[in-house]
Amino acid sequence: MSKFRQFRHRTPVLLLSVVVIAGIGVWAVPWSLAAEPGTAGAKMKLITREVSVSKIGFGAIMESLAVSPDSKRMAYAARRGDKLLVIVDGAEGKPYDGIGEGSLTFSPDSKRVAYMAKREGKWVVIVDGVEGKTYNGFLRGSRLVFDDTRSLHGLAYRGRELFRVDIRIVE
């Protein structure tokens, strides 16, 4: 028997499997391997608390799922026929021809949600359901980034001109 194998069998080992399912909850399962009575691993218990953030509706695009920084809100894109829409905290938004991949984002205080959407061949930034200016598109792989709770930016183009789009939220 190799030294590694001897070491592995004589040392108490505790493995912990933690799985996060779509930001909704955490499941923890303890498995004890070769734990000897009287070791710390044999006496350990896990107490898990699950808090449901939201139900995920029919037609949800799981890759679009975004959870707010405080983990209390959730947004995702969903398909309704030939249209896509964003669902925030269970409330459906306006249908669009497309939703920007990876564009769903929450503000640092978790109060606002923004994303890119395509309508009639043009792209817009939506913040809390309010549409901004139109663009031909956003750079592939670019994201909307909140600078603070009232401003965000992204990279878009119109024609042959590239823009850093700075959006200020005014109420």
> Are 120 and 162 members of one domain?
yes
> Are 102 and 19 members of one domain?
no
In the chain, the amino acid numbered 157 is Y
Kindly list the distances between the CA atom of residue 28 and the CA atoms of 17, 39, 46, in Å, as whole numbers in the listed order. 6, 21, 8
Question: Is 99 inside a domain boundary?
Answer: yes
Domain count, the chain: 2
> Are 8 and 81 members of one domain?
no
> Are 36 and 73 members of one domain?
no
**Residue numbers of the domain that contains 15:** 3-43
Q: For 31-44, write each residue's pLDDT tens digit.
A: 444 445 555 556 88
Q: State the virtual CA torsion across 143, 94, 61, 100 in degrees, nearest 10.
A: -20
**CB neighbour list of residue 71: distance below 8 Å, 6 or more residues apart:** 23, 53
Q: For 129-140, write each residue's pLDDT tens digit.
A: 999 999 999 988
Q: What is the pTM of this model?
A: 0.69
pLDDT of residue 31: 45
> Are 82 and 131 members of one domain?
yes
Local structure of residue 96 (DSSP, 8 states): B
